[in-house]
Amino acid sequence: MRLKSGTMVWMLWFFLPLLCTSAPSFAQRWEQVDPGEIPTVRMLNDVWVGASISDGRVDLRIFSVGEEGTILSSDGEIWEEQESGTIQDLNGVWGISPENVFAVGNAGVTIHFDGDTWEEQESGPPRDLNDVWGDPTGQAIVAVGDSGTILSFDGDTWVEMGNNNHWDLNGIWGFSPRDIFAVGVNGTILHFDGEAWKEQESGTITIQNLNSVWGTSSDNVYAVGDEGTILRYDGNTWTDASGNLSSIAALNSVWGTSPCNIYAVGESSSLVGTILHFDGSSWSVQDSLVSVFSDSDVIDPLKGIHGASIRNIYAVGKEGFVMSFDPQDDAFPAVCSTSPAHGSEGVAVDADISAVFSAVMDPATVTGDTFTLVAGSDTVEGTVFYSDNTAVFDPDGNLAYATTYTATLSANVKDNLGVPLENDFRWTFTTQNEPTDTDGSCFISVAR
């Protein structure tokens, strides 16, 4: 997306030591792609990264769009410029797969890539479009733009969706086709519930322009914008989530892999690029963890960020600037929090047991064989399921009172690209003591 608008983002994960359920830490490194390998010096406004697994190997396909119809494509090694068929600035890009990608831009331009060529689509009024998003199944594909423009793609044409907002909209993201957020200038936040778009109050939190929105679920959504604005939605209200950040001129894109692994990119007050990371507890500046091809060792202003996994993250920006995330050590998905927390006492006997991962996991690997609960040598029977970065063990009945349990997630649990946990992850907790019988009949008996 454009600087005034939002851009798409993505995130990375962390390594978590065994039996630790606090925010994980990991060795990381951002590296600029050699400018000599990038076939443009135009501004790149957005990036989308797709990946698939073939014969145990991850196949990447990266698309970045920018000024004057610029489109770059890469497999992670070679960068090539593609013919877009337009000279309009392209501001947003999103794909269902590397063979089904959409890009939007100025003057109402919408184009589609079928795996071979880009073709322009009819989109109606020539208002600038700033971002595009769709759900993974393609049931909903929506673009937003200036003057409150919201367009939905029905498989053949783009159709305008009615709403009462007339502010420019810069970013869009959804959890499902019936749960979509759009953000824009002057703190504008809209939500679609499957029936209609309605404005949500950012209250007195901000009147700053909001440029991008992304979340892990319908009750964990982040919006970022000018002056370092970071807002979080908990399913009911939006609150300031920026913490003690300072010297940020604009955040242009936000994206992540889980509640404890979120990135935002933009530019600092000194007009150089900046990268922020959220570990589930606080935001930190990552600028010192960057290697660039310049004597000044500064990052160019960044416009977009996105990735396919904890290993494959790209950020783009000014003058064809492209960065990739290069972990200094092997990057494994990790557990960043558990419920109950490790070492907890007095846990309710009817509690569910859950763990939140730093990456999107493969649900097929989160099973009763890989997520277990024991008390000593006794195995607890239960149902295991995975949703929204979270694995849940639901015991078939109440747990025993005053008993210590050990929960284990095995290293056979893998992320969406087949990367396993580095080690088995275990944590323990102790249930509450059995309540004393103080019902009425007992009291009367004693009274006698």
pLDDT digit string (tens) for 317-334? 999 999 998 665 568 999
- CA distance readout (Å), 338 to 235, 285, 404, 413: 21, 26, 16, 16
> How high is the pLDDT of residue 387?
93
- List, in order of start, the domains of the chain with CATH numbers: 7-325 (2.130.10.10), 335-431 (2.60.40.1220)
Structure tokens at 128: 């600038």
> How high is the pLDDT of residue 288?
66
Query: Using CA atoms, how far apart are residues 429 and 103, in angstroms rounded to an integer?
Result: 49
pLDDT tens, position by position, for the chain (448 residues)? 544 433 333 333 333 333 344 444 444 578 899 999 999 999 999 999 998 888 878 889 999 999 999 999 999 999 999 999 999 999 999 999 999 999 999 999 999 999 999 999 988 788 999 999 999 888 999 999 999 999 999 988 999 998 888 999 999 999 999 999 999 999 999 999 999 999 998 755 668 999 999 999 999 999 999 999 999 999 999 999 998 888 888 999 999 999 999 999 999 877 789 999 999 999 998 876 677 777 666 788 999 999 998 888 999 999 999 999 866 556 899 999 999 999 999 999 999 999 999 999 999 999 999 999 999 999 999 999 999 899 999 999 999 999 999 999 999 999 998 999 999 999 999 999 999 876 554 444 333 2
H-only helix segments in 312-384? none
The enclosing H or E element of 212 equals strand 210-217
Euclidean distance between the first and the last CA atom of the chain, given in angstroms as a whole number: 78
Q: Which residues pair with 357 in a beta bridge?
A: 335
- Half-sphere exposure of residue 324: CA atoms within 13 angstroms, side-chain side: 20
Neighbours of 439 (CB within 10 A): 7
Query: Using CA atoms, how far apart are residues 310 and 363, in angstroms rounded to an integer?
Result: 17
Full DSSP string of 98-164: TTEEEEEEGGG-EEEE-SS-EEEE--SS---EEEEEE-TTSS-EEEEEGGG-EEEE-SSSEEEPP-S
Q: What is the DSSP letter of 444?
A: H
Query: Using CA atoms, how far apart are residues 229 and 210, in angstroms rounded to an integer?
Result: 8
The distance from CA 302 to its chain's CA centroid, rounded to whole angstroms, is 17
Structure tokens at 84: 């877009």
Greatest alpha-carbon span in the chain: 93
Structure tokens at 226: 């000018």
Neighbours of 203 (CB within 10 A): 12
Place of tokens 């006492």: 345
Q: Which residues pair with 118 in a beta bridge?
A: 113
Whether a cis peptide bond, with omega within 30° of 0, leads into 340 is yes
Q: Report the C-alpha dihedral over residues 64, 65, 71, 75, rounded to 10 degrees.
A: 10
Answer whether 104's CB lies under 8 Å from 131's CB. Answer: yes
Structure tokens at 336: 């960043």
pLDDT digit string (tens) for 148-183? 999 999 988 999 998 888 999 999 999 999 999 999
Name the nearest CA neighbour of 305 among 323, 318, 319: 323
Query: Using CA atoms, how far apart are residues 164 and 287, in angstroms rounded to an integer?
Result: 40
Query: Using CA atoms, how far apart are residues 257 and 416, in angstroms rounded to an integer?
Result: 11
The enclosing H or E element of 202 equals none
Contacts of 288 (CB under 8 A, 6+ apart): none
Q: What is the DSSP letter of 367?
A: S
Contacts of 206 (CB under 8 A, 6+ apart): 187, 225, 229, 231, 240
Q: Which residue type occupies 327?
A: P
Query: Using CA atoms, how far apart are residues 262 and 9, in angstroms rounded to an integer?
Result: 9
> How high is the pLDDT of residue 295?
63
Answer whether 313's CB lies under 8 Å from 8's CB. Answer: no
Q: Which residues pair with 353 in a beta bridge?
A: 393
Place of tokens 């990790």: 334
Q: Which residue type occupies 35?
A: P
Count of helix runs (H) and strand runs (E) in the chain: 1, 39
Answer whether 245's CB lies under 8 Å from 228's CB. Answer: yes
> How high is the pLDDT of residue 297?
66
